[in-house]
Structure 1
Amino acid sequence: MPHIELSSGSIDYQDTGGEGPVLVFGHGAPMNETQWRKVVPLLDGYRCVLPTLPLGGHRTPMNPDADLSQRGVARLLGEFIERLGLDQVTLVLNDWGGGQFLISEGRDQRIARLALVACEAFDNFPPGPAKAAAQVCRIPGGVRLLTRLMRVPAVRHARGGYGGMSLRGIPDEIMDDWFAPATRSKAIRRDFAKFATGAPDRRTLLAWSEKLRDFDRPVLIVWAAEDRLMPREHGPRLAELYPQSQLVEIADSSTLIPEDQPEQLARALTDFLTRTGAEPARQAP
């Protein structure tokens, strides 16, 4: 897997290459690029770039002084896009919604459009059920405790936790991969704790959200009807916030729409991209 050295450390990423419009995918905590494994193959004609952000599932520790707060990771994502020379990017987010802060930080010049897929918004950082886990991460040894608990099937698949993020169920081998870095590395656990405890207070989050009204490019909002983490009312509320938005609701899915309904999500993305001027590159005969 290629990697790039950024100001806060090394970032791994996947890049399908090609001449098509560029899609950059964000992921949740402590996940990685495999969150999109069912969707990317359905996006023929697009160049899909999937960085493994330092949200706890990353394989290489960041620098000890790295800013891994919500704002810090958003800025790191912007730096990644800049360093790869990507332009006219469609930024696709699911679960983690902090990529929106590129707008409030004034770092959105390379973003042509947004696709917000059942992700954190407004003051829902971290989402309600995850707030208790974030508090555990403030305790010395808390992340290590969480990684151990995630080996217990009853905890791993609990409907109030990761088990509630997908109606279909996340395969154990995928979750093993997500938690492996923090399980084996103290430095990764340090990074995970930084991110998990790095959300600002509610007043700050809502102030940042107000700045999103200035984003004058197309936005697709895809919300899950059976989501346990992202409030259903946040979909329409985001649609009102962004001036050029389209709202699509997908039934029979929880937060991880890429897991539960990849075909429907791929169709919604392709329709949105084509309608807003990002048609897929034609494949060679």
Structure 2
Amino acid sequence: MSEDGQRAARRTSRRTAILHGDHVAFWDSGPEEPGDELVVLVHGIAGSAQTWSPLLAELARRREPRRFMAPDLLGHGSSSAPWADYSLGGYATGLRDLIVSLGYRRVTIVGHSLGGGVVQQFAFQFPQHCARLVLIDSGGLGREVSPALRAATLPGAEWVIPVIADRRLVDLAASVGRRLAWAGRHVPPSAKEAARAYASLADPVHRRAFVHTARSVIDSGGQRVRATNRLDLADQLPVLIAWGTADSMIPVEHGHRAHELVPDSELALFEGAGHFPHCDQPKTFTDRLLDFLDRRPPAEWDPAHLAERISEHVSFDEDGSS
């Protein structure tokens, strides 16, 4: 019997956890008897776990034995949108709580766009829980970002977004997209995912969370949160950096820069893909991700090594005071 034939069929279910009184929705995908390895998929701003559907479908087709979990971050998708901490640190803490609640100590964590910033923060904040790191068209690696995201941080954005995200305009845009598809015009999956995120802003609760989240990481000049000054601290982790070469939201140069900063990291470029390479090229992306997971075993956490690396970033001035 082939290796694929020996693998158990996968199941994908929609689940909800109540963490600290908030509902956190997530997709749970894996074999009937999942093993010890968990891969966590973290979506981008205004997105949801739905963005991982093409990847989850590929995993099911291949009967991949690892367990994958894709949550809706607070304020996104079907999760609660409370008055809460929508910073990278707040999201990272929520992920930690969900992961340990599922019974896992160390996980591979994958982040797309804003989710890339979240998982970098997770790796820095909770290194004892991070076994591998995968960044997809990630935020936090440079100043440049699309004008649309910068505009969301400007004064008065709360009143402008309801106009441009009015449900009637969203429905009209969706209708145009369907007509283009009916006429045989190809609509890239990246464009569809961006439209899905845009449509979510018609809901005032999601819109409020979007503005809070955007302002925590972006200002009028671009991204104001960066990991590049400490990204080399991830040198004990297997790191994969994936990017669509045609990304118009976050330039591919950020991926090249991150690859140079992280020793022994891997860079995977998806030619012609946009901001969502896992949607534009799901088969190729799944091939590359699973190859990385198969070749690079989970790292063990070495607190002494991390302390030594942090100390290399620090110097103290002697002021002569007694």
Do the aligned residues in 1 keep the contact of 2:153 with 2:215 (CA within 8 Å)?
yes
Match of 2:48 in 1: 32
For residues 38-70 of structure 1, what are the alpha-carbon distances to aligned partners after superposition, in whole Å with 9 as ceiling and x for unaligned?
Answer: 11232311211000113x532243332x10123
Distance 1:177 1:16 in 2: 22
Counterparts of 1:1-285 in structure 2 under 5 Å? 1-7=14-20, 9-17=22-30, 18-19=34-35, 21-43=37-59, 44-54=64-74, 56-64=75-83, 66-96=84-114, 97-99=116-118, 100-104=120-124, 106-124=125-143, 127-135=145-153, 138-148=156-166, 149-153=169-173, 168-169=188-189, 178=197, 182-184=201-203, 186-199=204-217, 205-206=225-226, 208-215=227-234, 216-277=236-297
Distance 1:183 1:10 in 2: 21
Distance 1:26 1:240 in 2: 24
Q: How many residues align?
A: 263
| Structure number, greater radius of gyration | 2
Distance 1:205 1:37 in 2: 29
Alpha-carbon distance change, 49 to 241 in structure 1, aligned in 2, over 3 angstroms: same
Shift of residue 219 of structure 1?
Answer: 0.3
Structure 1: 5+ residue stretches without partners: 158-165, 279-285
What secondary structure is seen at the aligned counterpart in 1 of 2:50?
Answer: helix
Shift of residue 73 of structure 1?
Answer: 1.9
Shift of residue 150 of structure 1?
Answer: 3.8
What secondary structure is seen at the aligned counterpart in 1 of 2:251?
Answer: coil
Do the aligned residues in 2 keep the contact of 1:138 with 1:193 (CA within 8 Å)?
no
Distance 2:146 2:24 in 1: 29
Do the aligned residues in 1 keep the contact of 2:46 with 2:200 (CA within 8 Å)?
no
Structure 2: 5+ residue stretches without partners: 1-13, 178-185, 299-322
Alpha-carbon distance change, 58 to 22 in structure 1, aligned in 2, over 3 angstroms: same
**RMSD over aligned Cα, in angstroms?**
3.1
Alpha-carbon distance change, 25 to 146 in structure 1, aligned in 2, over 3 angstroms: farther
Do the aligned residues in 2 keep the contact of 1:221 with 1:235 (CA within 8 Å)?
yes
Distance 2:99 2:207 in 1: 25
Shift of residue 75 of structure 1?
Answer: 2.6
Distance 2:79 2:129 in 1: 26
What secondary structure is seen at the aligned counterpart in 2 of 1:3?
Answer: strand
Match of 1:282 in 2: none
Distance 1:179 1:204 in 2: 22
TM-score (norm 2): 0.71
Alpha-carbon distance change, 239 to 181 in structure 1, aligned in 2, over 3 angstroms: closer
RCO (CA 8 Å, sep 6+): is it higher in 1 or 2?
1
Distance 1:49 1:233 in 2: 29
Alpha-carbon distance change, 98 to 8 in structure 1, aligned in 2, over 3 angstroms: farther
Shift of residue 3 of structure 1?
Answer: 1.3
TM-score (norm 1): 0.79
Do the aligned residues in 1 keep the contact of 2:92 with 2:121 (CA within 8 Å)?
yes
Alpha-carbon distance change, 20 to 168 in structure 1, aligned in 2, over 3 angstroms: farther
Moved >4 Å (runs of 4+): 174-182, 200-204
Greater helix fraction, Structure 1 or Structure 2? 2
Alpha-carbon distance change, 267 to 168 in structure 1, aligned in 2, over 3 angstroms: same
What secondary structure is seen at the aligned counterpart in 2 of 1:109?
Answer: helix
